[in-house]
Amino acid sequence: MSVEQEGPPQRGPRPPRAEPETHPGSALPAVPGFGTAGPSALPSAAGRVQVVPPEPGDVLVAGVGMSAGGPVEPPQHGPAPEPAPQPEKAPEKRRKSRAARVVVGCVGAVVVLAGGATAYVLVSKGEKSEKNNEPRADAPVAGWAVRAGRDMRAMAGVQYDGTLRGEAGQTARVRLRVTRSGAATGRLSVGGRQFNVVAVGGATYIKADTAFWRQYGPDSAHPENYAGRWSKAPESMPGLDVANVLAPESIAKALVKASGRASLENVGGTPAYRVKTPKADYLITRSAPYRLLRVQVAGNGDPALAVTRLTQPAPVFTELRPRVAALVGAADPSVRFRAGKLTFVNCNENVTGCTVSVPATLTVPESGPVPEGTRAALRATITADGRTLGSCTGSGAVPANRSLVLRCTVRSAGWQAWMRQARDTPGEHAYEAQARVVGQALTASEVGRLLARLDRERASLAPTRRTTPSTRASTAVSPTGRS
């Protein structure tokens, strides 16, 4: 969206104490992905301002300020704006061809490299016929599966390491450490580029660059909304479903549910059960204590993740906790908004602060009820004389009618100093604001609850200190103070 001034340069009434200079307004250059606006002038100026409604994908807008005689309001513009598991068939039919190709991915398995994009696509082929099937495990498999599940629930955590290979041979190295509850922290390394990953509360978040979000984000027109900050991993990105695939509790449940269809094979010379599930295969030793050897995310090219039991979980929590704490205000690209006209509230001659107000309407998802917990977040920045005066943030829950007004107030020292100088200096003094409206994944209170949960888990894994009975005699004191 852009705002342009038309007609002769704007002039305000001259203050009695000095002869002000006049400064013709000008429109800011249009920048793809967001709108711009001409400067606001103090005092009030004559002229006509045309507001062009934003394109449907625009989420960054700018507004004009207010004069000493009241707001300079431009004319109103356009209207405000895992598939479910299939039921099991009869045994004789289930043994038939399973040649369907299943395309899934591994976290950070798709990255952008200089010179082009490389897709790490993982494709799974089931058994093509009964004669190619691995031999079935012997029938009391439930016993070992239950014991394997107990072992998974008892471990402090697990580390996954693996290398993914692209079609042209490029490799991406992934390392992920997962706690007993399913919280995870890790990193994806590709050709010197590294993306941090964290999973908590059943969701996965990634801190990636603009190129990544332009290629794989659902809002490719505005990758800057998510780049360089923690954002919910996009659904289009081949990723690791930590909560449902790699968390120890999820694995324990999957083993019991699918162990009846386990096959037998060797993993590096170790006899193992292969338990197949729609999202991953789990390889478990065939002898007690039935340990997890490997997780193979559905795919060919051997995209397997080696498993290492974590005996010292403290370093995991040391890395995990600050990453989770930084998730306050994390962006959610699965919901998007159309931003309306930005306005200033109580800004002119207000040294204490300036409030920015932006109406917004939920546009994605396009139909149906508003998803539970959907929130919109506003980020606004005020500038003047080519420098930033301050920024602010605000957020709100999206109501059933999909529309809300977001506000935040800049109270920075930069704004206060600039406004004092503007009040004491005759002439025009322009200030501008730009704002973005994005989906918000986590609030501060929600992150606080996640941190409390992590702290409880960490405390439960801490070694218990043995106390030595004291040999000192104790003296009882009566309520009257006499012993």
Instruction: Give me the pLDDT at residue 203, please.
Output: 93
Concatenated DSSP letters of 37-96: -PPP-SS----EEEEPPPPTT--EEEE--EETTEE-PPPP-S-----PPPPP--HHHHTS
**What pLDDT score was predicted for residue 315?**
94
State residue 27's pLDDT score: 36
Region 322-344: mean pLDDT is 96
Instruction: Give domain 97-309's CATH number out of 2.30.42, 2.50.20, 2.60.40, 1.10.3470.
Output: 2.50.20
Measured between alpha carbons, how far apart are the two ends of the chain, in Å? Answer: 82
Calpha distance 228→245 (Å, rounded): 27
Q: Return the higher-pLDDT residue of 139 and 405.
A: 405
pLDDT value for 461: 87
Residue 53 CB partners (closer than 8 Å, separation 6+): 1, 77, 78, 81
With a cut of 50, say whether residue 126 has pLDDT above it: no
Q: What is the pLDDT of residues 50-96, one digit of tens each?
A: 333 444 344 444 444 443 334 434 434 444 444 444 444 444 444 33
Residue 225: strand, helix, or coil: helix
| Mean pLDDT of the 26-45 span | 38
pLDDT confidence band for 349 (50 / 70 / 90): very high
Query: Given this model, what pLDDT does residue 215 score?
Result: 74
pLDDT at residue 236 in the model: 56
Q: What is the pLDDT of residue 164?
A: 64
Mean pLDDT of 441-450: 96
Q: Is a pLDDT exceeding 50 seen at residue 261? A: yes
Of 435, 423, 443, 438, which Cα lies nearest the Cα of 356?
435
CB atoms near residue 156 (< 10 Å):
17
Q: Is this structure's pTM higher than 0.85?
A: no
Instruction: Return the pLDDT at 471.
Output: 43
C-alpha distances (whole Å) from 354 to each of 12, 51, 333, 377, 419 are 21, 22, 29, 18, 10
Asked if pLDDT for residue 123 goes beyond 80, the answer is no
- What is the residue-wise DSSP string for 133-164? SPPBPPS-HHHHHHHHHHHHHHSSEEEEEEEE
CATH 2.50.20 placement within the chain: 97-309
